[in-house]
Structure formats: C-alpha cells, structure tokens
Amino acid sequence: MMVFNPRQTCLWIHRYSGLVIAVFLIITSITGALLAFYNELDDVFNHKLAYSEVQNEAQLPISVLHDKVITSYPQYSFSSMPTSLELNKSAVFVVDKVSDETAGNQVKAPFQQVYVNTYTKQIIGTRDREQWAWRNTMYKVFYLHRELLLGDIGKLILGIVGVVWTLNCLIGLYLTLPRKIKNQQPKHAKVQQLGRKKRASFIKRWLPAWKIRTQTNTFKLNYDLHQAFGLWLWGLLLVIAWSSVSFNLPLVYEPVMKAVTGYETSQQQTAKQQKAQQKSEQIKGNELLSTDSKNTDTKTIKALVGTAVLNDKQDSSYAVTKVNSIATLTKMAKQTAADNGVEVQQLLGMRWVAEDNQWQLRFKTDKDVGSHSGASSLTVDAKTGAIVRVNFGYQALLGNKVDHWLSALHMAEIGQAFWHVLYQLLLVIVGLAVTLLCITGTYLWLKGRQRLQKRTAKIRCVEQ
C-alpha cells in the first residue's frame, strides 16, 4: 500500500516546475537587474538626445518649451509636461497615445518622445522607441522583461510563470524546514518544558539551511547555495513573483487580492469617483447652460486646441494657465498636503485634461508608496481655479496599499537618494540570485538524475 508523502510530492513539484520555468526566470532576472537602473542606463544609450550642454543663461520656462513642441508638431497632441528641468538634461515631451475612441480625430505619431534644449528651445530630436536602434536598448530590455517581445502572448506566458514561481517560493520554503521528530518523551512530561525543547530543537535544526559550507564537494556546495540564497532573499523573491502576476495576469491576481486584502480594481475606483462627482457635475452643467455667450465660448476654445494645452492668447480669461499651472498647482498641492498632515516629496508630472478643462498634477507625498498607482494627484478647474478633486495615495484601501507596495518594490520605487540607490543595488543582487537559483537547481536535478540512473543500472545488473 502506497503512503502519501507530502515532502516528496512537494519536492517533485518544486523540481520539475522549476525546470519548466528556469529559462524564463533567467531571462527576466537578468533583464530585471538591468531595469533596476533603467533611467540611468537609458540616458547612457540615448546620450545624444538626453543631454544638452550647460549654458550661461537661465533655462527657459517649461511652458515656452512646450509651446515650441506643439507649434513644431501641430498634428499631434502633447497634453503632459514635465514639472522640473535639469541643468545638463534635455526636456522630454511625450506624445499622447491615440486610443480607439479618438483614432478618427487624431493622427498617430511616428515617434513617442520629443527632446528639447532647455536653453535655446531648439528641437534636438525625436525618438521612436519601437525602432530597433542603440538608443532604444533599455526600452527593448524592458519589453523583453515584460512580455518576451511577443506582445500579449508573452505577457500570458510570463503571467503563468509568475503563478508557478509564486507557488514554488512557498513550496521551497516548506522544503527547507527541518523534518518533524516524533516525540518519544513520556506522557507525564511537563507541557511547558516540552514546548521549550521543541522550539529550541526546531531553530537549531533549521539554522544549517541558512549556511553555506565552503569546505565540501561540488554537489553539496550547489545545494547550499540553492537553499541559502533562496532563504535569504525569500521575502523579496515572493514579492517579485506575485507582483509579476499583477502586471501580466490580472485575471488571477485581482480575485485573489480581492479575497485576501479587499483590493479594488481601477475600474471600481473610477466608478466610485464618478458616483461621488455626479452632483458636482450636474451643478457645473447647469452653470454652463446659464452663462452668457461670452462665457460659453469654452467649446470653441476647446475645439481650437484639441488635446493640446491652451496658449496665452486662448487662456487669458483662465485662472490657471499653462504659464502658471505648475507653480499654482504645486502651491495648492503643498497646502492641501499640509492640511492632511503630509508633505509633498516629489512632483511627477502635469497634465491638461481637455475634455474637462482641467489641470492635473501628480505628486508623491512622504506617506505615498511608489510613483505610479500609489502616488497622489490634484485636479483643478482651469477656468475658475477651484480644486475639483484630490487623491492621496496613502489614503487608499488596505488591499490597494498592498498592491502599491508590491508594485513599488518590483519597480525600484522605494526610498530617496542614497536609500533608493541602495535598493536598486539590492534588486540587482536579487536578479543575479534568481539566475544562480536556476543554474544550481538545474545542476542538482542533473546530478540526482545521474545517481538514479546509476542505481537503476546496478539493480538491473544484480537481477541479471
């Protein structure tokens, strides 16, 4: 009669599922190590466009640089602007993506970025990141990491790999735990003393799994490297594995996170915001209907500018213009943040929302996590200067905060200055460690297979 052995079953799953995903993990771990320093490396490969010579005169205002871009490329839309400039770096303006809804009214640009000299407002050049070129090296590395350069099929493959990797992390931890020792003490032993002995014994027996023996044979060294590195970095490996599922396979990630943490999807959050703003939108609509012909010229203005940002002639009656938008919204954001007991730590970007006649500033507070979904935003009515909406990332639901942490840890958005660089280096180490785990795991499987074949051959010889 066969007896089910959970440890042997888990070992079999860990071994063969690891072999299946090993190649994919090596690709994503090496590219991930590079992506930890994405911005720094991208500037190196794209040096000719990214950098400009420092000059004696002061840098031009961002609004002037943006005017130069939209007049140079009037057929395309540039609704976003950077919020700060660096002395030796070009200003980068991103072309709006053409969605299916607006494809009929907009032309898709043959490039995604425009680089402008901040001193002379000269267009240095444009970049089509889809093109195979030296300057796009890091962009290609990113998509190799994200989807194996295979589009949706690649995302699906890596999403499945992420699920298997997550389960493998849990199984791997279980396999490092010491085997349970049967209790041989008499029944009349004290419970308190027995508990103390069990706990001390468990820790003592688990400690060797964290160590690497140096004076040993090759097999044992590989075994120790595989086990110890997996334990030392286990928490971060699990975070990266599961967060990769969130990026590539939301069909699995979202229901699990919703059940465990109460996570809300972006669609659910948007529906909540729309419901909360329904009354204010009705009031705004009534006000527009009751205004005179002079004030109802807003639609004409919007038709003239499309999704581009208003220029000086068109926005003279506006409380918040392109010229003062960054300074005005920054001041509002700092005041609003202070009223909520937080501090604005970093400005992330300014955007003109043409359909609503609004300016939106994204920023990060000292309580926010990451600079993407976990960041904060302030939306202001351009005509009146009134604050329409404020979203603080740190005020999100627990489930969404967990999601923000997973995303930030995966994409190296943790810490500032020295601590940020330190975490980037940690991710590089993790990337190399995953590669090491794949190599040592494959080696251990090959050696185990060779031993099994030798043992089988000896048994056959004896039987014959």
Per residue in 114-171, pLDDT (tens digit) is 999 999 999 999 999 999 999 999 999 999 999 999 999 999 999 999 999 999 999 9
The average pLDDT across 268-289 equals 64
Backbone angles phi, psi at 104, to 5 degrees: -70, -25
Please tell me the pTM assigned to this model: 0.86
Higher pLDDT, 294 or 346: 346
Residue 102 has pLDDT above 60, yes or no: no
Per-residue pLDDT at 280 exceeds 90: no
Confidence of residue 302 (pLDDT cuts 50, 70, 90): very low
Residue 278: predicted pLDDT: 66
- Condensed to tens digits (0 to 9), the pLDDT of residues 8-67 reads 999 999 999 999 999 999 999 999 999 999 999 999 999 999 999 999 999 999 999 999
> Does residue 173 surpass a pLDDT of 80?
yes
Mean pLDDT of 374-387: 95
Mean pLDDT, the chain, rounded, equals 88
